[in-house]
Amino acid sequence: MKKDTSHINSLENEAIYIMREVAAQFEKPVLLFSGGKDSITLVRLAVKAFYPAKVPFPLMHIDTGHNFPETIEFRDRLVKELGLELIVRNVQDSIDQGKVKEESGRYASRNQLQTTTLLDAIEEFKFDACIGGARRDEEKARAKERIFSVRDDFGQWDEKNQRPELFDMLNGEIELGQNVRVFPISNWTELDVWSYIEKENIEIPSIYFAHKRKVFLRDGMIWSAEDGIVYRDDNEEVLEKMVRFRTVGDMSCTAAVLSDAVSISKVVEEIRDSTISERGARIDDKRSEAAMEKRKQQGYF
Amino acid sequence: MEVLKIATAGSVDDGKSTLIGRILYDTKSLTTDKLEAIEKTSKQRGYDYLDFSLATDGLVAEREQGITIDVAHIYFSTKKKSYIIADTPGHVEYTRNMVTGASTSQASIILIDARKGVIEQTNRHFFINNLLRIKDVVVAINKMDLVDYSEEVYNKIKADFSELMSKRDYQDQKITFIPVSALKGDNVVNKSDAMPWYEGEALLQHLEDLDKSDIFNVGTPRFPVQYVVRPKTEDFHDFRGYAGKVYGGNLSVGDDIIVLPSKTRSKIKDIYFYDEKYETASRRSSVTITLENDINVSRGDMIVKENDLPTIDKQFTANICWMDSKQLTPGTKYVVQHGVNKVLAKVDRINHKINPDYSGIEKDVTGLGVNDIASVTFKLNKPIFYDQFKNHRTNGSFILIDAQNNNTVGAGFIQ
């Protein structure tokens, strides 16, 4: 039985309303694009919100240098097809400038380093609103996030002093130097995003679908053994498995899941029956129970 | 079915987070990894049951103190509906969060501890639910397991609560009493065998059965213009569309409309949703409208049907919920955000303070403190186009912004 999609329509209407508020209330908005399904969904919503006019803000990708190659190819094709403006800023540059230090060891990841590059880029372009694809169902700290979330000069999130959001009214008033993180798909769940991708027939990178990949196992999770980005001990054996990725972040913190879902409808089915949460495959959240809250206070997206 | 948003209200230790955790558990909405984390922490703390409140209390301070500080949003779905629960804190000082959570909800759950019965807090919770005109309210009498599932206790609380109901302003609010034990799972998702005397539905069943007409108010259509779409491309050279969300009722192609404040008349030419044209835009849809005449419309203007004008005025009186530690005093200026429209406002007078425990009003008030609810008259620097809150939830509400620090400092419901 196909589920009634009218609740997705109401989520879509809400998100389009938020996109338009951003364009109207801010001078220099930007859409933070990671190449993942959530930010691809945001692009679709932005295109629909302003049709027949063009999307009135650029996309920005904070490239960790550890992205899946499929994601980058996809990104470049998407902006070309839709005629969008794309800004790329590299974590490697922040490392070269000595602003951040590369982590080392088994669990080394560039995920945390992104924050510095992001904050620098916000300052460079004087962005006053950054649209992101975070959802409240992802994680406990994100469940408390506002749709318009004010960040201070240091990009920090003051979780105990958030502006109340009433009815549909979004208060985007800020002082110079502050910026607002905007989350149009706050109220969507992972399944909602996938159902929307299916309904709208949105193209997504191939790594979201089941494919053969060289992987190795660690801590009960499946890691990509291709491209040499993820640190692997010699005794960690390389296997070939049918896998797909549920989230597409930095390769070094994104684990794969076993899957034979080769189409969107199969993926939707798989997620509906899944008993593991989406971020269960994100090692960055496993560092401590409050991992996300801490990163958000520091300005993480 | 649209997403059903539910606000929850209860005092500290009434078991609100446990109730939500129980709903998630019994609807199999908790994933294995989340469940394992709850099991692990419950065990570490030496509990002999699963502490479901761990599923919702997200901030470090909350887990440390074992209380809920900020509104958390929790998502789950059944075969029939998708739900969002706004888990709002029960402390007196956090009334603002409760008003916030309730403002976007169409149904609400008020929790009462069966051992304590109706307490002062219950009055407040019900008052706010009634003030915000939530159409469907469930009074969940929790911890029934601790009073031996007693029908007498249930009836006593029901009778006490009914006395409150007689004082409410919004009489059409539908109220349903359900005896539950969140800890044991009685009457939450599944009907309980422990209370055969209770003939009603379990909590979730009640929510599942709510129909659109049970939760939404139908009013007159209002279309506040959010954004003017001007593509200036070859294909759409002269296109001038007005983007916005339709509130209250439907708008259709051919409708005779008036644009406020200019009061220019026109007709709806086309209704776009992305690249598709529609005959009718239904309430809460985000569309782009074009008009027959080339007239000047900008953000903050409102398109309404010709025979259905709102009040157009430079002053209004409203019940407001004050949310800031800095007092509201007569003569002070604020920014009123009414929908997408912003105007400057001055507090003309505080008419009276309302005691949210239904004990009456206080006159001769010189200022409002945080969490005060009061009737206040404002004067504006230019007219806004409003309806009374009781007739139009969206067009009858506004927020107050402190022009000095840009914070949202109050919410208002126009009388």
Burial class of residue A98 in the structure, from the number of CB atoms within 10 Å of its CB (0-12 exposed, 13-18 middle, 19+ buried): exposed
CB contact at 8 A, A168 and B394 = yes
B359 Cβ contact list (under 8 Å, min separation 6): none
Q: Which residues of B touch A140 (CB under 8 A)?
A: 56-59, 72
Hey, are the CB atoms on A164 and B72 less than 8 Å from each other? no
Does B261 sit behind a cis peptide bond, omega within 30 degrees of 0 on the bond before it? yes
Question: At B396, which amino acid appears?
Answer: G
Is position A217 within any domain?
Answer: yes
Residue (of B223, B351, B346) closest to B290 by Cα position: B223
**Chain A: closest CA distance from residue B259 (Å):** 19
Tens of pLDDT, residues B70-127: 677 888 888 888 999 988 765 655 678 888 889 999 999 999 999 999 998 899 889 9
Q: Could you tell me if A37 and A110 lie in one domain?
A: yes
pLDDT band at B21 (very low <50, low <70, confident <90, very high): confident
Chain segment B176-215, per-residue pLDDT in tens: 999 999 999 999 999 999 999 999 999 999 999 998 777 7
User: In this predicted structure, what is the pLDDT of residue A204?
Assistant: 94
- Residue A1 lies inside a defined structural domain of this protein: no
Residue A67 lies in a domain: yes
Where do the domains of chain B lie, and which CATH numbers do they carry?
A: 4-215 (3.40.50.300), 222-305 (2.40.30.10), 311-414 (2.40.30.10)
Q: What is the mean pLDDT of residues B282-303?
A: 95
Instruction: For residues B186 and B143, give the distance between their C-alpha atoms in angstroms, rounded to a whole number.
Output: 9
Please report whether residue A28 resides in a domain: yes
Reported ipTM:
0.92
pLDDT at residue A291 greater than cutoff 70: no
Tokens of A255: 């684990």
Strand order through the sheet with B4-9: B72-77, B82-87, B4-9, B107-113, B136-142, B174-179
Find, among A114, A14, A23, the residue nearest to A64 by Cα.
A114
Q: What is the CA radius of gyration of chain A?
A: 19
Alpha-carbon distance A86 to nearest alpha carbon in chain B (angstroms): 20
Cis amide bond preceding B224, omega within 30: no
Residue A141, domain member (yes or no): yes
State whether residue A162 sits within 8 Å of chain B by CB.
Answer: yes
Token pair belonging to B4: 């059903």
- 3 state SS of B234: coil
- What are the pLDDT digits (tens) for B240-269? 999 999 999 999 999 999 999 999 999 999
Q: How far is A191 from chain B (nearest CA, A)?
A: 10
> What tokens does B254 get?
């051919």
Q: Is the pLDDT of residue B338 over 80?
A: yes
Closest CA to B73 of A218, A188, A196: A188
Same domain, A21 and A144: yes
Q: Is the same domain home to A158 and A235?
A: no
In a domain, A59, yes or no: yes
**Do residues A147 and A183 touch, judged by C-beta distance below 8 A?**
yes
Work out the burial of residue B318: count CB atoms within 10 Å of its CB; fewer than 13 is exposed, 13-18 middle, 19 or more buried: buried
Question: Residue B81, Cβ neighbours under 10 Å: how many?
Answer: 18
Both A166 and A232 in one domain: the answer is no
- How many beta-carbon pairs under 8 angstroms link A with B? 168
State the Cα–Cα distance between residues B47 and B267, nearest whole angstrom.
Answer: 66
Task: Please indicate whether, in this complex, the C-beta atoms of A51 and B235 are within 8 angstroms of each other.
Answer: no
Q: Look up the CATH number of the domain holding residue A98.
A: 3.40.50.620
**Do A176 and A255 fall within a single domain?**
no
The answer to whether B201 touches B191, Cβ cutoff 8 Å, is yes
Following CA atoms A49, B294, B259, B242 in sequence, which dihedral angle do they give, to the nearest 10 degrees?
Answer: 0
Chain A residues with beta carbon closer than 8 angstroms to that of B97: 164
Alpha helices, DSSP H only, in B188-260?
203-208, 212-215
Q: How would you label B38-51 residue by residue, b for 16+ Cβ within 10 Å and e otherwise?
A: beeebeeeeeeebb
Contact A157, A299 (CB under 8 A): yes
B3, B34, B397: residue with CB nearest A10: B3
pLDDT of residue B322: 95
Residues paired with B347 in a beta bridge: B378
Residue A257's alpha-carbon distances to A178, A202, A213, A244, in angstroms, are 39, 22, 11, 6
Tell me the pLDDT tens digit for each residue of A122-172: 999 999 999 999 998 887 777 778 899 999 877 788 777 788 899 999 999
Query: Is-contact B50 B182, C-beta < 8 A?
Result: no
Pairing of strands B82-87, B4-9: parallel
Residue of B nearest to A139 (CA): B58
Q: pLDDT (tens digit, 9 = 90+) per residue, A84-117?
A: 999 999 999 999 998 888 888 777 778 788 889 9
* Mean of pLDDT values over A275-296: 60
The Cα B141–Cα B354 span in angstroms is 27
pLDDT for residue A105: 78
- Between chains, do B70 and A50 touch, taking CB under 8 Å as contact? no
Nearest chain A Cα distance for residue B247, angstroms: 11
Residues 6+ apart with CB under 8 A from B33: A276, A277, A280
Q: What is the pTM of this model?
A: 0.92
More confident residue, B37 or A174: A174
Judge whether A69 lies within some domain: yes
Residues of chain B positioned with their CB less than 8 A from the CB of A52 = 229, 231, 233, 235-236, 239, 241, 272, 275
Q: Quickly state the pLDDT bin for A3 (edges 50, 70, 90).
A: very low
The CA R_g of chain B, rounded to the nearest whole Å, is 24
A79 in the same domain as A118: yes
Instruction: Evaluate whether residue A201 is within a structural domain.
Output: no
- A70 and A111 together in one domain: yes
Query: Alpha-carbon distance B316 to B331, whole Å?
Result: 15
Task: Based on the fold, state whether residues A146 and A48 are members of the same structural domain.
Answer: yes
Claim to verify: residue A117 and residue A225 sit in the same structural domain: no
**What is the structure's pLDDT at B345?**
98
User: B28 CB contacts (<8 Å, ≥6 apart)?
Assistant: none
Spell out which residues of chain B touch residue A186, defining contact as CB-CB under 8 Å: 73
- Half-sphere exposure at residue B28, Cβ-oriented, CA atoms within 13 angstroms: 6
Rounded CA gap, B189 and B203, in Å?
6
CB–CB of B323 and A13 under 8 A?
no
pLDDT tens digits, A198-232: 999 999 999 999 999 999 998 888 988 887 778 88
Main-chain phi, psi angles of B165, to 5 degrees: -60, -35
Per-residue pLDDT band for B156 (boundaries 50, 70, 90) equals: very high
Q: Residue B87 has what pLDDT?
A: 80
Of B59, B100, B272, the CB nearest to A159: B59
Nearest chain B residue (CA) to A3 = B79
A32 and A154: one domain? yes
- DSSP for B265-278, written as a single string: EEEEEEEEETTEEE
pLDDT band at A1 (very low <50, low <70, confident <90, very high): very low
Q: Is A5 on the interface with B (CB under 8 A)?
A: no
Sequence-distant (6+) residues with CB within 8 A of B310 are B220, B222, B260, B302, B304, B385, B386, B387, B392, B395
- pLDDT at residue B306, as a whole number: 94
The reply to whether A229 and A113 lie within a common domain is no
Write the single-letter amino acid at B166: S
Which domain, by its residues, includes A82? 6-196+289-297
What's the maximum distance between 2 C-alpha atoms anywhere in chain A? Answer: 56
**pLDDT-based confidence at B390, cuts 50/70/90?**
very high
Within 8 A of A288 by CB-CB distance, chain B residues are none
Strand partners, A203: none
Q: How many domains does chain A have?
A: 2
Which helix H or strand E contains B366, and what residues bound it?
A: none
Do A148 and A177 belong to one domain?
Answer: yes
At B314, list the tokens: 């430079």
Q: Residue A140's closest chain B neighbor by CA?
A: B58
